[in-house]
Amino acid sequence: MSQHPQPTAAIRAVPATTPFVAPEELARRVGRSSLVRLGANESAFGPSPLAIAAMQAAVPMVSIYGDPESVDLRTALAARHNCTIENIVVGSGVDELLGLICRTYGALGDPVLMSHGSYATFAFQVIGHGLDLITVPPFSDGSVDIEAMLARAREIQPKIVYLANPDNPSGSFVDADAVARLRDGLPPDTLFVLDEAYAHFVTSGTLLPEGIDERTIRLHTFSKAYGMAGARIGYALASREAIATFQKIRNHFGVNRTAQIGALAALDDQAFVQHVVAEVARGREEYHAFGKRIGVRTLPSQTNFVCFEIGTRQAAEAMMHGLLERGVFVRKPGEPPINGYIRVTVGTPEERALFYEHFAAALDALRERVS
Ligand SMILES: *Cc1c(COP(=O)(O)O)cnc(C)c1O
C-alpha cells in the first residue's frame, strides 16, 4: 500500500475525463490567440446593457462577500416564477447545482437515469459522485424517447431521472404533456431533475407549467439567453424541503456578488431577452437554410444551436478539427446516434458569415480526402 495520502476508492475509480475541452485550450493547441466561438452555446448577443452597467458599478465592492442567501435575487425570481424564495436556491451555474443534486440525493452506486448522450456535464457529475449512470437510447435524431425512459425508470427504480428540455446536444424538445407523463409515471421516491437551460429559446411547443412539486427540481441559468455564462450564476426551483436541504450543505459563499447584482439587473430587462431570443430564432433559420442550400442535413432545434450532419463519427471529428484549424470553434455530440453531426451555436450575423465560408471550405477539404 502506498505511503502517501490517497483519495477514496470511489474517487480513484473515477476516470480522468473532463466534460469538455475548453476553447482556450483548443486555441493553444492550434497556435491561435482566439477563435470564433460557436462551440459552447454562449450567447453571441452579450448581456443586457443594464446588467453590464450594474456589474461595472458593483466591481469596486468586490472586497465584500455577496449575500450568501441571495435574497434580492431570489425575491425577484420568486415573483417571476410565482413561488416563494424558500423554493429557490442560487448556485454558480446549473453545473454546480447538478453536482449538489448528485451529492444530496445519490449514495455510492445508486442508479441515475438519463437519455444516452444528453448533457455531458450531468454525466460527469454523476460519475464523479460515484453514482451509477444508466442511459436510454434516444430516437435516431437524438431526441429523448420519453416512453423508453419511463419503462426503464420503472424497471431500475433510479434515485434520479435527468431530462434536459430542450436537450443539449440534439436541440430537440419534448412537449409539456410528455414531460408531465414522465414525471407522473416515475417511482414515488425518484427525483425528477428537469434542466431548462434553453427554455427561453422554445418558439414552438409548450413548457411544463410553472409550479412546485415535491419530486421535481427545475434548473435555470443566466448563461444562455441572458448572456452571462462567464458570471457563473443559475438557480433551482424545488420544494421547500429540498431547498432547505441544499441550504445545509451548499457552498455558502459560492455565488459571486457581482454576478448576483448582474443577474438581478438582467431580470429587469426582459425586452433585451426577447431581442436575443428573436435574433437566435433568425440565426437558427439561417443555419437550416444554409444546410439546405449546400445539401447538409440539420436537426430541428429549440435552442441557441443547430446540429449539422457530416457523416460518420470520424468525418464529424475531422470536420470539427478542420474548422478549428481555420479558427472556428464548434463541438460535436459525443454519442450515437448523432455523433456524426457537429453542433454549432448561433453566432452574430458576422460570425455566421465566417462560419459559412469556413464550413464550405472545410467540407470541400474533407470530401477531397475521402474521394
Ligand atoms: C449550458 C447548459 C447549462 C448551463 O450551465 P451553467 O453552469 O449554468 O452555465 C445547463 N444545462 C445544459 C443542458 C446546458 O446546455
Q: Which domains does the chain have, with CATH numbers?
A: 9-37+271-370 (3.90.1150.10), 49-269 (3.40.640.10)
**Residue among 224, 255, 303, 346 whose CB has most ligand 1 atoms within 8 A, to mutate:** 224
Range in 44-48, 86-90, 127-131, 349-353 with the lowest mean pLDDT: 127-131
The better pLDDT of the pair 16, 73 is held by: 73
Give the strand pairing for 191-195 and 216-221. parallel
Confidence grade of residue 320 (pLDDT, cut at 50, 70, 90): very high
Quick one: which atom of ligand 1 is closest to the CA of 232?
A: 9
For the CA of 41, the nearest atom of ligand 1? 1
Strand (E) positions, the chain? 36-37, 88-91, 111-115, 132-136, 160-164, 191-195, 216-221, 234-237, 305-309, 328-329, 341-345
The residue whose CB lies within 8 Å of the most ligand 1 atoms, and thus the one to mutate among 42, 94, 235, 251, is 94
Determine which residue's CA is closest to atom 11 belonging to ligand 1.
Answer: 197
**Whether residue 371 has pLDDT greater than 80:** no
Contact 253, 66 (CB under 8 A): yes
pLDDT at 2: 60
Does 172 have pLDDT greater than 60?
A: yes
pLDDT of residue 15: 81
Lowest-pLDDT range, 33-37, 92-96, 110-114, 241-245?
Answer: 33-37
CA distance 68 to 97: 15
Cα 121–Cα 124–Cα 125 angle in degrees, nearest 5: 90
Model-level pTM? 0.96
CA dist 53 and 207 (Å) reads 32
Average pLDDT of the residues in 197-206 = 95
pLDDT digits (tens, 9 = 90+) for 7-58: 988 788 888 877 788 999 999 999 999 999 999 999 999 999 999 999 999 9
Amino acid at 232: R
Given a contact cutoff of 8 angstroms between Cβ atoms, the answer to whether 290 and 159 are in contact is: no
Alpha carbon nearest to ligand 1 atom 12, residue? 197
* Residue 22, all three cell numbers: 475548453
Q: What is the mean pLDDT of the chain?
A: 96
Is 221's pLDDT higher than 80? yes
- Which whole number is the average pLDDT over 177-184? 98
pLDDT at res. 18? 76
Q: Return the C-alpha cell found at 207.
A: 413548457
Which secondary structure element, helix H or strand E, spans residue 50, and what is its range?
A: helix 49-58
Give the residue-averaged pLDDT of 159-179.
98
pLDDT grade for 279, boundaries at 50, 70 and 90: very high
Ligand 1 site residues, Cβ closer than 6 angstroms: 41, 93-95, 119, 164, 168, 195, 197, 221, 223-224, 229, 234
Confidence check: pLDDT of 370 > 90 = no
Band (pLDDT 50/70/90 cuts) for residue 319 is very high
Q: Name which of 361, 356, 364, 366 is nearest 318 in CA terms.
A: 366
Query: CA-to-CA distance for 28 and 26, rounded, in angstroms?
Result: 5
Minimal-distance CA residue to ligand 1 atom 5: 94
Q: Does residue 201 carry a pLDDT above 60?
A: yes
**Best residue for ligand 1 mutational test, from 162, 220, 223 (most atoms within 8 Å of Cβ):** 223
Q: Is the pLDDT of residue 228 over 60?
A: yes
Phi and psi for 348 in degrees, rounded to 5?
-70, 165
Report the pLDDT value the prediction gives residue 1, as an integer from 0 to 100. Answer: 55
Cβ neighbours of residue 368 closer than 8 Å, sequence gap 6 or more: none
The whole-number pLDDT of residue 16 equals 82
Gap between the Cα atoms of 201 and 281, Å rounded:
7
Question: Per the omega criterion (within 30 degrees of 0), is the bond before 137 cis?
Answer: no
Q: Quote the pLDDT of residue 187.
A: 97
